[in-house]
Chains A and B, each alone.
Chain A
Amino acid sequence: MTEHSAYTPYHPRWHRTRVSTYWWLGRGSYFLFILRELSSLAVAWFVIDLLVLVSAIAKGDAAYQQFLDWSGHPFVLALNIVSFAFVTLHAVTWFNLAPQAMVVKVAGKRVPGALIAGSNYAALAVVSLVILALLLTRW
Chain B
Amino acid sequence: MYIRRPIEPFLWLLFSAGGVMAALFIPATLFLFGVAFPLGWLTPPPYDRLLAIVGYPLTRVLLFGLCSLSLFHGAHRFRYTLYDGLQIKHLNEVINSICYGGAVVGTLVAAYLLWIVP
Contacts and interface: CB of A to CB of B under 8 A. Distances in A.
Nearest to B84: A37
Interface residues of B, number: 60
A61 B19 contact: no
A contact face: mostly helix, strand, loop, or mixed: helix
A69 B24 CA distance: 27
A32 interface: no
A37 B81 contact: yes
B-side binding surface: helix, strand, loop or mixed?
Answer: helix
Interface string B69-82: 01101111110110
B63 interface: yes
Interface string B1-42: 110000000000000101110111111111111110111001
A128 interface: yes
Interface residues of A, number: 56
Given A7-B1, A84-B34, A84-B35, A46 B114 contact: no
Given A4-B2, A54-B114, A127-B28, A37 B47 contact: no
B74 A44 contact: yes
Contact of B28 (A19, A50, A65, A132): A132
Interface of A: 3-4, 7, 19, 21, 24, 34, 37-41, 43-44, 46-51, 53-55, 57-58, 60-61, 64-65, 68, 71-72, 76-77, 80-81, 83-84, 87-88, 90-91, 94-95, 101, 120, 123-124, 127-128, 131-132, 134-136, 138
